[in-house]
Chain A
Amino acid sequence: MKFNFYLSLLAFLLSGSMGIAQITITNGEHNMEILGSISGYYNYRIIKPEASNQNLNNNRFRLRDAQIQIEGRVGRTWAYELQFDVADIASGQSSVDGENPGLMDAYVKYKGFKFFDIQVGYGKTPYSRNSMTPFVYSPYWQRAQINRGDIFTRRDVGVTLSQSYWKQRVNVYGGIYNGLGEISLRGDNDASGSVEYITRVDVAYPSRFRYREIDDRHVPIPMFQIGVNGRYTKRNLPEGGTFPAFSGGEYGLRVLDGERYVYGLDAAFMYKGFSAMFEIHQYRGQPRIDSHPLYQGLPIEKTQGYFLAGGWVAQANYFLKSWKTILSVRYEQLDLNDLVNGRSERLSFALAYQFNGFNSMLKFQYFNVLKEEAAIDPLRWTEQFRLGWQYLLK
């Protein structure tokens, strides 16, 4: 039995090594590149002995990514990207996984203006450095809870203006979006017809700092980046109006009948193989109706007409260059509602071995739930292990 298990695991992991390399087609003006990725892991959870639900359905192999990405440039002024994940589309789920949706990018960018670039379509919103960092450059199998798309949306349909200054050390973004996140792809807006505004500024020193977690080059100079971002939406549903199904996400925070501010700060550092990041986000929700469930049944005198959510995440990494190995540790805190006592805390370790850089990487992540916010988000597990392979078609 055990032999069969290990044989299956090996076969599953090796299947990730089959793939084509990155391909570019060009006519000299229009350059189109085809990329992709395949990744999968085995997940094992330790369930609380006292949990009423001893269902072990999370002990399983999972195909996380089967992505195809088409990137193009037309001359120096036009760019486009189409990226989708067949694994998520094939799952047939009605709900949306904000961390890993079926359609990941579908936008066109114009770079011909002097003062800003303009991007139109669907893609990542310019909020949270960690969210903007491509997942394939992470040794982890899952982002921190606060950045997974359950508190704020990570992708949406809209228009983004961006520009870089000071030798690309300063990046400025501003955008206007539907505000429903990935649910925007289903067509209609909600009955309020409102939009969401997002802005971000980050500054790096002493050179530009790409959105990466790991210092796989062992940069010879200390590099820093600090970013601030904010987002705002006000959605007043008319009498009888509702939000589209699943738009609220796991905790009902992604959209709100009322006013919502989210603001955050992030910092990143790299030097000689060591890298670290810190992110903090604060969510202020002002539901329009006093009886809104997010007020937790408390009177207006107690809530003052708002609730807060938010948390922070800190991560430290070291890249052992001669061992082609990444070591990482991450600590995170999340408070889903300040009107309820308690917050969750998690500690994760990750270890990744690079067969061929990030293109072919064995990744292991260990999760430990140190504390849970049982009143809002009760868990039946305490620890979790994920071991798998990431293979990029590059």
Chain B
Amino acid sequence: MTWNKMLLLFAMPIVLMAFRKDDPVKLKFNNFIVLKVPEPSGIAVAPKGNSYFIVSDDAAAVYEIDLSGKILRSSATLGIDLEAICARPDFLYVSDETPRKIYQLDYATLQVTRTFHVPYSGGRNKGFESLTYNEAKKCFVLITERDPVYIIELDHDFRQINEYRWKHARDVSSATYFNGSFWILSDEDMTVFKCNPANYEIQAQYKINVHNPEGIAFHDGKMLILSDDMERLYYFNQP
């Protein structure tokens, strides 16, 4: 094969790139704080709105931080691979991805008061990376990370009610319910999806310039994005 042919073969996709469709709206963060929580992988706003709860994958523990990022307290080691957290008015709920367990924690002591097992036989590291509560449907929601992405609705005893196959991103790293919408974060696509909470169909999507985004929450007019590898909490204007 001649060199000209080889060059043509490799140049063609680059030329075609010029005609590709535009990306979604890009959001830029306003500022960030550096966290002292090792490998933070999920965030939830405390019901009173005066602190955040963060799960640490590395320490397998829950940390409470104030709004400036200072650690207020932490739990004992809870499990193996904590990936998501949901703050309800009465209890905190944490997803332990590898053993497919959900821990219910008491706010006062950060101790486990109840453990639920939600079976899922997909990849060990591709289990429930997202845990939140869908206010519109009054149910908990667990989302598998990837290969494939399933949105699973569960009752208050974590019994499955419904299941959706979601194909709009390569992976899902976090989700939350806010302001009548269901928000889904994709780490690999670095994209936030605003979805209809009834059926999880996309209403809008936003690209974010954050490396390894693993957690999403909304507070005080801001969208908060947690980066695992950078161990930072980024603040965006609420889209």
Contact = CB atoms under 8 A, between A and B. Distances in A.
Nearest to A208: B229
B117 A28 contact: yes
A394 interface: yes
B21 interface: yes
Interface centre among A35, A73, A216 (most CB of B within 10 A): A73
A22 B170 contact: no
Interface stretch (A224-232, A260-268, A321-329): A321-329
Interface string A178-209: 00000000000000000000000000001110
A76 B60 contact: yes
A22 B147 contact: yes
Given A21-B122, A26-B100, A322-B20, A349 B190 contact: no
B3 to A, nearest CB: 9
B147 A359 contact: yes
Contacts of A374: none
B101 interface: yes
B137 interface: no
Contact of A24 (B13, B101, B124, B187): B124
Interface string A92-120: 00000000000000000000000000000
Interface in A334-385: 349, 351, 357, 359, 366, 383, 385
B174 interface: no
Interface stretch (B44-52, B156-164, B204-212): B204-212
B10 A327 contact: yes
Contact of A206 (B21, B99, B210, B230): B230
A167 B231 CA distance: 8
Main secondary structure of the interface of B (DSSP, over half): loop
A218 B229 contact: no
A150 B220 CA distance: 60
B121 interface: yes
A383 B2 CA distance: 11
B10 A167 contact: no
Contacts of A71: 124
Contacts of A223: 211
Contacts of A218: 190
Nearest to A76: B80
Contact of B10 (A73, A217, A219, A351): A351
B-side interface size class: 35 or more
Interface in A19-54: 21-26, 28-29, 31, 33, 35
Nearest to B210: A220
A366 B7 CA distance: 12
B1 interface: yes
Contacts of A385: 1
A289 interface: no
Contacts, number: 95
A357 B60 contact: no
Given A24-B121, A31-B98, A217-B188, A207 B212 contact: yes
A331 to B, nearest CB: 14
B211 A26 contact: no
Contacts of A167: 38-39, 229, 231
Contact of A28 (B1, B77, B101): B101
A351 B11 CA distance: 11
B9 interface: yes
Given A29-B99, A220-B190, A349-B6, A325 B13 contact: yes
B232 to A, nearest CB: 10
Contacts of A216: 188
A82 interface: no
Nearest to B100: A26
Contact of B17 (A28, A219, A220, A323): A323
B13 A323 contact: yes
Interface string B4-45: 001001100110110011000000000000000011000000
Nearest to B123: A22
10 shortest interchain CB distances as A-B pairs: A207-B229, A33-B124, A22-B123, A220-B209, A24-B124, A28-B99, A322-B20, A31-B98, A217-B188, A221-B211
8 contacts: A23-B121, A217-B190, A219-B211, A220-B211, A322-B17, A366-B6, A383-B1, A394-B123
